[in-house]
Structure 1
Amino acid sequence: MKVAIVGGGAAGMSAASRIKRLNPKMDVHVFEKSNFVSHAPCGIPFFVSGIVRDVEELCAYTADFFREERKINVHLNAEVVDIEYGKLEYVERGKSRTYEWDYLLFSTGASPIKISSSKKVYYVRSIEDAPKIRAVAEKSEKIVVVGCGYIGVEVVDALTNLGKKVVVIEKEYPLPDHDLEISKLLLNEMSKYAEVKSEEAVEEVREVGEKLIVETRENEYEADMVISAIGVKPNVELAKKLGVKLGESGAIRTDPFLRTNVENVYAAGDCAETTNIVTQKPDWIPLAAPANKMGFVAGSNIAGKRMKFPGALKSQMTSFKDLEIGKTGLSEKEAKKHGFDAISVTITSRATAKYIPNGELTVKMVAERNGRVLGVQAIGKGVAKRIYAAASLLYKNAKVEDFFFVDLPFYPPKSPVWDPLVVAARKLMKSI
């Protein structure tokens, strides 16, 4: 049996590896239009900052590893240009070829939403662009960053660490997926290092000599460089050629087995929809952890081992300077948008025992009035372990009382007896 995987990112290589492990006789071909596989664009800000020295470190494995160790036929610089049922056409290093398939997986990922046609505007998506972004940033004095989601926050952190003068333009407020209680704390810290312009939307970016002018309705900002991180859109054009149906988000619609509406055609990763575990509705969650697992599940099913993907919580983590920020599940505004009768509590507590000073932690917990927790956000010190714990509990539809009674360990340098998650739950129990 022949398997074609279009896209060699996290989902594609996870699927290919799973197929070969379960059924080594299957002929698996991966078609990747870039020069890298198993790549991690989330690491680009850390390459720009200099923490990561070699761009190839952003790849979990090399193409040769997959070819030699896992016997996967990896085609680099190979762009699939046309597709029909049972056959695809691709151009590899300038030569046009065809491949006949029995099973097909779309793992085509997502592309940045463009704000300008100018080649001087850079987008944080392809690791092939990372060396150029770093080289231009190092030579620039003033840089405008458009968008302040997770990638935007990390880009601003990297650029300010390099000593650059940074202007941040965000049409809402920093980390717009979060609630204001969390975002305001980030804004206060970020404003110490960069000029942050909230509630401004970029209308035009134009080149004036060697400079760029970023225009909003309110102001104009001059820059040596512009980096845009306003979001991404799923790559679905090839799938549409094959008659694959899309969901409301514009990503590929899949069932729990990652099957599309076309027989023997699957989709996984940033190009595909999945289920939001909290809402139990279709959702588009273009994040690395779900993408890897979706690839694993799709590969299992293609190889004949029946497996369902239960969905994802949209769990995320980032940091800015000494602040950690994390979220799992729904924010309060997201909960109300989905029609939940939501209540919430925000608490600020110690991240450690009081006799071992190590900063504070702010936690916001959102729940239904019936007691089911819908989401947790946190900012400060020691955020990661609280988000990990919260995600584990949310995955099992835990109630506020479960968060209160969960047996989190006491260890003075890392957690007080009354962990901030437990304190938030205790306070929220009074409203249920």
Structure 2
Amino acid sequence: MSTTIVTADSTATQDWVRRGKAIQFPLLIVAIIVTTAYLFSLAAPDQSSVRFAPNNAGSPGGRALAQVLGSRGVDVQYEDVFTKALRAAGPADTLLIANDPGLTLERATQLIESGANIVAANPRSELVAAISEATGANLTQTGSPLDDSPVAAECSLPAAVAAGTITSNGAGFTAPEGEAATALCFPAAIGHHLVQVTGLNGQTFTLIDSTDQWTNAKITTEGNAALAIHLLGVAGDLVWYIPEIEPIPDLDSGAVSPPSLVMMIGALALAAVVAAMLSFGRRLGPVVSEDLPVVVKASESTLGRARLYRSAGARGRAAAALRAGSAARISRRLGLPTSATPEAFTSAAARATGRSELQLHTLFYGPPPADDGELTALALQVQKLESEISV
């Protein structure tokens, strides 16, 4: 005969094992969901709806130009934060700045001091002023009437000559004529659509008054693509800087943008919680009835309830229970239904005992006892009345 000794340590170990088995399925579900979300994030294309962004495939985007530059060996680095763009741009690189409504004069000066060759498309006046101050070119924006018709280069700048003609609906720039380091190309109604200024250290600053001609919708029109390639793809890597602003939807494509990764992960997390709840819920088996180890006598139960009433000072509830129980027993003896009214009950009890109806009504439906003495007296009176009514 063998004896098994159960210690506290072994019991605790068994509890941990049981708990570990209980959470295996929820943990497996969570792991599968997290892995799926990660794979979705890797497979989902990094698309944007920001105007002229290199990963925007819509009509106002610049993805077509970015892909052409990439196919020619240009490393295109897209930045939408100023500090990151400033760190990424070096003296041997080209920095494209476009659509920055929040560019201050101080930030414009910092971008110029990076040493990168700057191409500013649709620049703010602060950037134009900073370039003028750094080069002494005295550039100004003209506010020329908008015109999207093709315009010839009419200058000797190699990029403009390669393009031949372009389309631009910008407002134009002006600069003093006769500056050897300044090229004025593509005449507008007032000024020129493109101006390039060369600094003392060979750093070039190219201003073009619009980004429209380089978007996916118009990059193949006239010589727009040739101009962009010669300006953006000849000096080192390209830092494409467009600050993150409110996206403009592409109404022409009719495409629906995919849900954000945050929303997708949130939905998967909710599914994980539901799966865990279902997992724990299914482990609740049917209710099992068990016999009580002892039989509690009615007298003991009544005595225990009476003690509870007494400890709580609930004389009213005790008196009500006493009266209700006695009235039920007397009604059965008198053949009255349980739905009998107080008047019918007291009338029948009065006929059976010879007592007055007022006395019986006060006994069964009177006010609750004020103290333990009145409660005891009520119990004795009810017990005596029951003994007067034979079965």
| TM class, shorter-length | under 0.3
Whose helix proportion is higher, 1 or 2? Answer: 2
Q: Which has the higher strand share?
A: 1
Q: How does the TM-score come out when normalised to structure 2?
A: 0.22
TM-score, with structure 1 as normaliser: 0.20
Which fold has the larger relative contact order, with Cα–Cα distance below 8 Å and residues 6 or more apart in sequence?
Answer: 2
Which of structures 1 and 2 has the bigger CA Rg? 2
